[in-house]
Structure 1
């Protein structure tokens, strides 16, 4: 660590933009503090902390999933910023990842209480660094939390749907949403669709076998030859959601079922959900769209579909919010992803994911 008599180096994580800017300004004006001049992207906190050999990391509760990695490769004290109280058992759970204290909510500079609050915060941060003891024992990798998505997008289609999905995915921006893709295809063609999507996007694209975790920014193509639902993750104290693939023997049913996938998403995750029904025969997706809207989500259907049956079925059933041209659907998804902001949680199932 740095010599405390000269300066304390600090890495400020992905706090709310206004809070982060104010904290950078506050610490940057103090001779005793050296702020790392890099804003880490999601998933890079540990690497940057090690690169700059920082003495302290300041994160918010949404970055808890990165702290296990940080404690493993560069164990330094962590202070959390939170708009809510983090006392009691929830803060004690966080100490296993070197979380020593928390502060918040932020006091505006024009508040009469700001000067006293600012001094107390500086003393608090310095005390954490000076008093930090040996790093606690790191939990096994299998028990680390995953990066939960802030929202879920389900793309469903059948005949003509693969080309439509490819067009939409090619225009998606990185986000904190998980993207699920369900197209009526034989099992042998699942990897072909995965490969096609790999060629048009830099986002991670995987096949959703049983146990594939829904994580922020990942595209999961559910396999043909069976149905996929979303279930609560098992084998870890941390909340997670996983795909559950079930092969069925009936070759005449439309698989994977878009209805089943959409219904299980809203029933299991509770996250803001957007359903997108693209080109295809039949009416699969209509009941799933109904479930999404009943749970407060949104549904859009493709106006210029090569095969109009599926999108029109949802539209005529009153289960769609908008009918959009294919070229406009990706922009709609990108806007949805920006707005998908569920309440922040410390996602340990030991505390039943209580709202902070």
Structure 2
């Protein structure tokens, strides 16, 4: 049973979250708090497995609270509640950088209380279970059996022309660590799907652009794909890369969600496989679910190299674990080693041996 502490200054919102969580028999609400100051004392008293934390609160706001929590409880999962606004997005990204595990968005323009509860329930319950690892305990899990990925096609040089990245839960911080460690003269374009809603992706790209030596943008339609630039798929749009003449350009579309996501990693990876084939370095970072697995299968079949973040450094080992478990990962690396691996590969290093 997972115990949750619900922190929000609104009585109505606290009730809504409690009602949403009550639908799951594996979750119990240990308590509630109207602000961060009360929450800190209740964490010590109730010892919850996870905390849901509003950002805007009197007395002590969510940003201050998450920083205080991390001083004493570096591993306690914390899910932020955010609004779908520029202010909410900025504060949420700040909270993630300060150590929050994930976030959900508050219902907006929802017609009834029942629909609000449903919206919260669908967002938060899977995250609680993923962050609290309520499946088989990690120590009891057998290590994934990793089959060798398909070999590079005959005649392939193995020279990379693009890096394609997929990430979700825990991804903003993980992606920032990877991108910020790359040099200004990194010679490849980087295309990224990070599961995020509209507004958030723009703010995330701007924030990452300020901290990185590379140029980071939220992708727009028909942008030329150039070396030294990181393209973040915009929220609610699938991003693809397409070749026209001698150039490659971004293409955005609003086709059906895949893996319950738009943007989806699989959509991006399929287009990268078609456009670049084996001249691709695919990277799957921390994230919930299996988005990116099918795309990685296609990339691997073309001779691309796939790198997965390891379990120990992933907030949730869903996406990279699915790729690793399917035998698609040539390398399963701690987060701190991924940037150097990419640098060494584009500098002419040999491909990593398939794990197996």
For normalisation by structure 1, the TM-score amounts to 0.50
Gaps of 5+ in 1: 1-148, 342-356
The question of 1:283 aligning with 2:294 is answered no
The question of 1:158 aligning with 2:165 is answered no
Moved over 4 A (4+): 248-252
Map of 1:59-98 to 2, 5 A cutoff?
A: none
Q: What does residue 321 of structure 1 align with?
A: 330
The question of 1:232 aligning with 2:239 is answered no
The question of 1:294 aligning with 2:301 is answered yes
The question of 1:336 aligning with 2:345 is answered yes
Kept in 2: contact 1:280–1:309 (CA 8 A): yes
Tell me: CA distance 1:250–1:286, structure 2 relative to 1, closer, same or farther (3 Å). Answer: closer
Distance in 1, matches of 2:241 and 2:284, equals 18
Distance in 1, matches of 2:347 and 2:258, equals 39
Give, in angstroms, the shift of residue 241 of structure 1.
0.8
Give, in angstroms, the shift of residue 251 of structure 1.
10
Q: What does residue 280 of structure 2 align with?
A: 273
Name the SS for the 2:242 alignment partner. Answer: strand
Write out per-residue CA displacement over residues 271-323 of structure 1, whole angstroms, 9 at most, x where no aligned residue: 61011101111000111111121111111111110011111001011111111
Q: What does residue 220 of structure 1 align with?
A: 231
Give, in angstroms, the shift of residue 150 of structure 1.
5.8
Q: What does residue 188 of structure 2 align with?
A: 177
Tell me: CA distance 1:249–1:320, structure 2 relative to 1, closer, same or farther (3 Å). Answer: closer
Kept in 2: contact 1:150–1:176 (CA 8 A): no
Tell me: CA distance 1:336–1:192, structure 2 relative to 1, closer, same or farther (3 Å). Answer: same
Kept in 2: contact 1:151–1:340 (CA 8 A): no
Distance in 2, matches of 1:296 and 1:246, equals 27
Name the SS for the 1:154 alignment partner. Answer: strand
Name which of 253, 257, 266 aligns with 1:259: 266
Q: What does residue 310 of structure 1 align with?
A: 319
Distance in 2, matches of 1:206 and 1:263, equals 21
Give, in angstroms, the shift of residue 339 of structure 1.
2.5
Q: What does residue 23 of structure 1 align with?
A: none
For normalisation by structure 2, the TM-score amounts to 0.50
Kept in 2: contact 1:212–1:242 (CA 8 A): yes
Write out per-residue CA displacement over residues 96-148 of structure 1, whole angstroms, 9 at most, x where no aligned residue: xxxxxxxxxxxxxxxxxxxxxxxxxxxxxxxxxxxxxxxxxxxxxxxxxxxxx
Distance in 1, matches of 2:259 and 2:321, equals 22
Cα-Cα RMSD: 2.1
Distance in 1, matches of 2:298 and 2:326, equals 12
In the alignment of these two chains, the number of paired residues is 189
Gaps of 5+ in 2: 1-158, 351-356
Name the SS for the 2:199 alignment partner. Answer: helix
Distance in 1, matches of 2:281 and 2:221, equals 23
Greater Rg, structure 1 or structure 2? 1
